[in-house]
Amino acid sequence: MKPLFVQNPTVASPEVQPTKSYTVNLIDNLAVKVLSVATVGTGIEMFLNFLGQSKDQNPLWAWLFVSLVLAIEVAMVLLAFLTNWGKLICAVFAIVVFIEVCAWSLPLQGVTAADTGPTPWIYEALGVAGIAAAVGLPLGVAVAYLVATPVAWIVLRESTTSSQFHNWDSLLGAIYVLLFSSCVSALVWMLRASARDADLASQKAADASAASARVDAIERERDRIDALVHDQVLTTLLLAAAAKTQKDAQHVSDLARAAIQKLISFSSLQVTDDSPITVSSLFLALSKTARELVPDIQVDLGATSDLEIPSEVADAISEATIQAIANSVQHAGRGVSRQVVLRNHSEGVKVVIIDNGKGFRQSRVPKHRLGIALSIRRRMASVGGEAHIKSLLNEGTTVILQWGKP
């Protein structure tokens, strides 16, 4: 049997690069939002303290310092709820606060150190700045930040008072900042680790389902070939049994030779992982796997054909389909109905996955999202196919996978 499509051995599956999981991104976004709300309270308290201390500080540097911190806190609130740049502004906030602590001598130019002195207004920002570092900076840098900030606070406090360790004020303040920011940061890191494990397990399950669909498609293809051989041989035997004339015998003889020739050709045809797969075998395998993932999913299997497609194309369609279903299960919400529509054309294949779940704003999906960016769009593009994703909030999501001519 001559394939309608010639397999291209140069097409290979894209390597999966390490990316942040969806749930980790969700945890980070939630942490940024909570932190931005917390900065509102600390920002108000910090500004009130600043007003009480500004008369004893260099006006230019004092107002520059407080304006910069407050501006970043306002930006954090806006970016946390309106964009995906919340983590970046958290990192900027943490860095700016640390720089201001280290450069605290600038607002104090011309000011004589007091015996005790009021607690500098920047202290109100230290705790949330440590948490912001845990959210916005890499783990190693964030840990160093959590340790360095209390040390910087001790240096600041001791350098701006004439009595060293007066009532252990600076040390106690540093310990409080360290404990508060470290405990909350540890909670964020633990949630991240749990989310990463959950998404990894989900991704492995999707990969296993795609592999299962591939094996099932190969088995169905073997069964199809066996059935063709069986039908050819059985037809020849039945005609041989019914032959009564010389002409019938000659006809049976011709059929027998054709059957033997086909047996020889099929005996050399081994269905392997690289063999082309027919659309009928692929669609039946996808139907079975989809129902295993979601028992109540509706599968609309149209008329199939023996159109053969390269194995890497069948793999890409299987993986993208399973990933789309897995994404729906994970994020569409409860009580959602789902449907898979499988269609083939004269020279192409089309798979549509539909749900009526929560939907999402595609503009809010980070570029590094593994499920959409790699497992669906790039996977289809790697074999010359296309993936189109349509989604509306509270109306559902439709994923269209297409390969070949419509």
CATH number (domain holding residue 359): 3.30.565.10
Question: Mean of the per-residue pLDDT values for the chain?
Answer: 77
State whether 40 and 152 are in the same domain: yes
Q: What is the pLDDT of residue 310?
A: 84
Whether 193 and 286 map to the same domain: the answer is no
Give mean pLDDT, residues 245-256.
Answer: 62
Q: What is the dihedral of CA 251, 257, 263, 266, to 10 degrees?
A: -90
Asked if residue 154 and residue 61 are part of one domain, the reply reads yes
Domain-located, residue 257? no
What pLDDT is recorded for position 272? 47
Higher pLDDT, 167 or 254: 254
Name the token pair of 82. 């309106």
Judgement on whether residues 184 and 283 belong to the same structural domain of the protein: no
pLDDT at 204: 72
Last residue of a domain, one of 149, 178, 199: 199
In a domain, 287, yes or no: yes
Task: Say what the pLDDT of residue 140 is.
Answer: 93
Interval 180-188 mean pLDDT:
93
Q: Say yes or no to pLDDT of 176 above 80.
A: yes
pLDDT tops 60 at residue 373: no
Minimum mean pLDDT among 44-48, 226-230, 313-317, 335-339: which range?
226-230
Cβ atoms of 38 and 94 within 8 Å: the answer is no
- pTM of the predicted structure, to 2 decimals: 0.59
pLDDT > 90: what percent of the chain? 28
Question: Do 146 and 35 share a structural domain?
Answer: yes
Q: Which one is predicted more confidently, 284 or 130?
A: 130
Do 306 and 193 lie in one domain? The reply is no
Regarding whether 177 and 317 lie in a shared domain, the answer is no
pLDDT tens, residue by residue, 44-96: 999 999 998 888 788 889 999 999 999 999 999 998 888 878 889 999 999 99
Could you tell me if residue 225 is inside a domain? no
Q: Look at residue 353 and tell me if it is in a domain.
A: yes
Indicate the number of domains in the chain. Answer: 2
Cβ neighbours, 10 Å, residue 205: 14
Residue at which a domain ends, from 179, 199, 219: 199
pLDDT at 406: 61
Q: What is the CA radius of gyration of the chain?
A: 33
Q: Is residue 237 part of a domain?
A: no
Distance of alpha carbon 116 from alpha carbon 105, whole angstroms: 16
Q: Which domain holds residue 173?
A: 22-199
pLDDT of 387 higher than 80: yes
Q: What is the pLDDT of residue 374?
A: 56
pLDDT of residue 364: 62
Residues 173, 29, single domain; the answer is: yes
Is residue 239, in this structure, part of any structural domain at all? Answer: no
Same domain, 68 and 187: yes
Residues 285 and 180 in one domain: no
At which of 161, 181, 199 does a domain end? 199
In a domain, 266, yes or no: no
Tell me the two tokens of residue 232.
Answer: 């050819």
Mean predicted confidence (pLDDT) in 98-117: 74
- Determine, yes or no, domain membership for 249: no
Looking at the structure, do residues 192 and 285 belong to the same domain, yes or no? no
Sorted by sequence, the CB contacts under 8 Å of residue 8 that are 6+ apart come out as 310, 312
| pLDDT of 321 | 87
pLDDT the model gives residue 19 = 43
* Same domain assignment for residues 43 and 156: yes
Kindly indicate the confidence band of residue 367, based on its pLDDT and cuts at 50, 70 and 90. low
Yes or no: say if 179 and 128 are a contact pair by the CB < 8 Å rule.
no
Residue 45, CB-side half-sphere exposure with 13 Å CA sphere: 13
Most confident of 1-5, 72-76, 84-88, 281-285: 72-76
Which of 107-111, 260-264, 273-277, 293-297 has the lowest average pLDDT? 260-264
